[in-house]
Amino acid sequence: MMNPLRKKKLEIVDEPTPAPRPEEAGKRYAIEARGIKKSFKAGQLMVDVLKGIDLLIEPGEIVLVMGPSGSGKSTLLAAVSGLMKPDAGSVIALDTNIWKMTRRKIDRFRLANCGFIFQGFNLFPALTASQQVQIILKFMKKKKSERKALAEAALNDVNLGHRLGNRPDRMSGGEKQRVAIARALAKKPKLIFADEPTSALDGENGNVVMTLLRKCAKEQGATVLCVTHDARLATFADRIITIEDGRITSTNADPAIFAHHH
C-alpha cells in the first residue's frame, strides 16, 4: 500500500508558481518564495511547521525574521536558502528556481552565491582563522595566492587581521563569530543567510556583526535574511517579518515594537 505521507509530498512539490499579484508584477526580487509548506513527522503525526509562507525580498534589503521559539524560523531559512527542500511551494533566488534543480546544482548555486552564518560558528578546531576562510575559497577553486589575499582581506574587515594564525581554542566567542562571518563574506556572496548570528555574543560584538552585514548590503548590494530573537538587531534592519506558528503575521513590523521589549 502506498504511504499516504509520501503521496502528499509528491503531489505538492511540483505545484506551478502562482502568477504574481498585480501590485508585484514587474518587480524584481532577490528572493521570491511562495506557498512554502513543511511538515515534520512526530511519531505517527505530521506536524505542520510552515503553513504556506510567501516571502519577497528586494536586492540589497536587510530583512529580519522574528518570532517565538518553534515558530518555524530556522525551517524557513533552510527552505529559502536551498538547504532543505520544502514539501510545497517555490523559491526563486537570483532568478533561479532553486527546488527545480538537482541536488548537485543547488549545492553549486549555494557555493557561488550564498554566505551562511549560524549561531554555533561551525569552525574547524584544527584550522587557523585564515585557513577557515580559505577552505570555502578552495571549494570554489580559487588559486592559492588569491585565497590567501581574499581571506586576509575578509579577516581584516572583521578586525581580525592580527589573528590570522590563531586556532578557535585561542579565540573568544566574539572573535570566533567574526571568523565565521569572514568565512561567509570572503567570497562576496549576493545572498547572506544568518540564523541567530548574535545569540552567543554580547551587545558590542552583536553590533559589530550587524554593522558588517549592513555594510555588505549597502556597499555590495548583498541581500540579507537574518533570523533572530534579538530585539536589539531591529535597528539594523530595513524590514522585520514576524512569524508565528508557521505563518507570517507581519511583513513590515514596526521596529519600535521590538526595541521596547528588552
Ligand X SMILES: Nc1ncnc2c1ncn2[C@@H]1O[C@H](COP(=O)(O)OP(=O)(O)OP(=O)(O)O)[C@@H](O)[C@H]1O
Chain positions contacting ligand X, by CB under 6 A: 40, 49, 67, 69-75
Applying CB under 5 A, which of residues 74, 130, 198, 242 lies at the interface with Mg ion?
A: 74
Query: Contact between 75 and Mg ion (CB under 5 A)?
Result: no
Please state the closest distance from residue 246 (CB atom) to Mg ion, in A: 13
Distance (Å) of CA 16 to CA 4, 35, 51, 159: 22, 10, 17, 46
Q: Is 247 helix (H, G, I), strand (E, B) or coil?
A: strand
The helix or strand, by DSSP H or E, that contains position 234, with its residue range, turns out to be none
Q: Is the distance from CB of 106 to CB of 114 less than 8 angstroms?
A: no
Query: Contact between 177 and Mg ion (CB under 5 A)?
Result: no
Cell of 261: 521589549
Report the residue number whose CB is nearest to Mg ion: 74
Taking contact as CB under 5 A, which single stretch among the options 70-78, 107-115, 155-163, 207-215 is the one that binds Mg ion? 70-78
Choosing among ligand X, Mg ion, none, which partner's interface includes residue 139 (Cβ < 5 to 8 Å by kind)? none
Choosing among Mg ion, ligand X, none, which partner's interface includes residue 75 (Cβ < 5 to 8 Å by kind)? ligand X
Q: Is the distance from CB of 237 to CB of 63 less than 8 angstroms?
A: yes
Choosing among Mg ion, ligand X, none, which partner's interface includes residue 70 (Cβ < 5 to 8 Å by kind)? ligand X
Q: Hey, which residues does 242 pair with through a beta bridge?
A: 66, 250
Please state the closest distance from residue 16 (CB atom) to ligand X, in A: 26
75 vs 130, beta carbon nearer ligand X: 75
Please state the closest distance from residue 205 (CB atom) to ligand X, in A: 20
Q: How far apart are CA 162 and CA 259, in angstroms?
A: 35
67 vs 89, beta carbon nearer ligand X: 67
Distance (Å) of CA 196 to CA 22, 120, 123, 201, 212: 34, 9, 16, 10, 15
Q: How far apart are CA 13 and CA 109, in angstroms?
A: 20
67 vs 160, beta carbon nearer Mg ion: 67
70 vs 221, beta carbon nearer ligand X: 70
Q: What is the CA radius of gyration of the chain?
A: 19
Which residues contact residue 168 at a Cβ distance below 8 angstroms, ignoring those fewer than 6 apart? 121, 123, 124, 125, 176, 179
Choosing among Mg ion, ligand X, none, which partner's interface includes residue 71 (Cβ < 5 to 8 Å by kind)? ligand X
Choosing among Mg ion, ligand X, none, which partner's interface includes residue 102 (Cβ < 5 to 8 Å by kind)? none
Please state the closest distance from residue 152 (CB atom) to Mg ion, in A: 32
Please state the closest distance from residue 195 (CB atom) to Mg ion, in A: 6
Please state the closest distance from residue 252 (CB atom) to ligand X, in A: 19
109: nearest Cα among 128, 92, 125, 122: 92
Q: How far apart are CA 35 and CA 88, in angstroms?
A: 7
Please state the closest distance from residue 70 (CB atom) to ligand X, in A: 4
173: nearest Cα among 209, 225, 130: 209
Q: Which parts of this chain interact with Mg ion (CB under 5 A)?
A: 73-74
